[in-house]
Amino acid sequence: MKTGSSSSSIMDMFEQGKVLKVCAPMVRYSKLAFRSLVRKYNCDICFTPMIVATDFLRSVKARDSEFTTNERDRPLIVQFAAHDAQTLADAACAVAPFSDGVDLNCGCPQRWAMSAGYGACLINKPELVKDMVRHVRNQVDNPNYTASIKIRIHKDLRRTVDLCQKAESAGVSWITVHGRTSEERHQPVHYDAIKTIKESVSVPVIANGDIKYLRDVESTHQLTGVDGVMAARGLLANPAMFAGYEDTPLQCIWDWVDISIEQGTPFTCFHHHLIYMLERVSSQPERKVFNSLSSTSSVIDYLQNTYGTVEDLGT
């Protein structure tokens, strides 16, 4: 980890009046190499994958594998899973010199997280969330360092509004709302719920869910009035989405190859990202061949032979 200096707060970015474009926390995927890629294509803020705070504090190995960054990897939000205020505050203090804020995951619907007291079960514990936010605000000695939460919604939206207002009273910097309940997966996003939450608090609100193209950023803003929009699967399929590309451009694919080689990205991760990026622009037989490749050199040969190099674009 390298320390970075951030003279201004992320909160200043919200003041500029544009809708912020944010890369979501994604387990295994929103690591340093991918963050480096999306930052080349108009992504304003990136999140790390969710990190379990107790493991992070307990193990040097966990810290080294779960959290890597560099001086160009800013603004950066580190997302933690936690269910204890002091543990979250300790984890925040550990990463504060290398990041711009921490986010408490109150939205992960996976069974393992919920049964361990993490993720979406926290939306039913507003007093605990309030306590965790307050601990971070009180113990990180950088006034510009942010403490945010990422939530899902309740069926009874009054409970979600109450949660958000309690978090606001504890000093939460902003709130990301995934517009689905913890039981919902691919059902339509409840934009009306996000709008209601936005109107119920004075801190910035970021909308999450079903952002596939740049036009979805503006339409979500129009529907909800939010201050920012967060994308996950849309960015996996097209890391250049926020720059207005409909599908992953060839330049972006070769940028990913360069970044992965430079940073020593493990082959499985390198390959998986390319499988996502090429899904919309390749045929089924092409995908079958590509998915079976097993080395970086075979992937590079395939890309050159099938799509050409960036230099070929200019000829």
- Each residue's pLDDT tens digit, 255-271: 999 999 999 999 999 99
Return the pLDDT at 127. Answer: 98
Q: Is 79 annotated as a binding residue?
A: yes
% of the chain surpassing 70 pLDDT? 96
What residues are annotated to the active site? 108
- Dihedral pair phi/psi, residue 256, rounded to 5°: -65, -40
CB atoms inside a 10 Å sphere around CB 194: 26
Task: Give tens-digit pLDDT for 199-220.
Answer: 999 999 999 999 999 999 999 9
Q: Which domains does the chain have, with CATH numbers?
A: 10-243 (3.20.20.70), 250-312 (no CATH)
Contact, 219 vs 191, CB < 8 A? no
Task: Say whether 126 counts as a known binding-site residue.
Answer: no
With a pLDDT cut of 90, the percent of the chain lying above it is 90
Q: What is the pLDDT of residues 286-303, one digit of tens each?
A: 999 999 999 999 999 999
Using one digit for the tens of pLDDT, what is the confidence trace for 123-140? 999 999 999 999 999 999
| Predicted pLDDT of residue 8 | 66
What mean pLDDT is reported for the chain? 94
pLDDT in the model for residue 315: 45
Evaluate whether 62 touches 109 at the Cβ level (below 8 Å): no
Cα distances (angstroms) measured from residue 121 to each of 1, 24, 206: 31, 19, 20
Report whether 177 contacts 194 (CB < 8 A). yes
Give the pLDDT band of residue 7 (cuts 50, 70, 90): very low
- Residue 3 pLDDT greater than 90, yes or no: no
What is the three-class DSSP state of 190? coil
Secondary-structure breakdown of the chain: helix, strand, coil percentages, each rounded to the nearest 5: 50, 15, 35
Residue 67 in this model has a pLDDT that exceeds 90: yes
Candidates 215, 195, 218, 191; CA nearest to 205 is 195
Strands 175-178 and 146-152: parallel
pLDDT-based confidence at residue 9 (cuts at 50, 70, 90): confident
Predicted pLDDT of residue 277: 97
Residue 161 marked as a ligand binder: no
pLDDT for residue 310: 74
| Residue 284 assigned as binding residue | no
Question: CA 213 to CA 224: how far, in whole Å?
Answer: 17
Strand partners, 20: 228
Q: With contact defined as beta carbons under 8 Å apart, do 255 and 233 qualify?
A: no
27 token code pair: 């387990």
Single pTM value for the model = 0.95
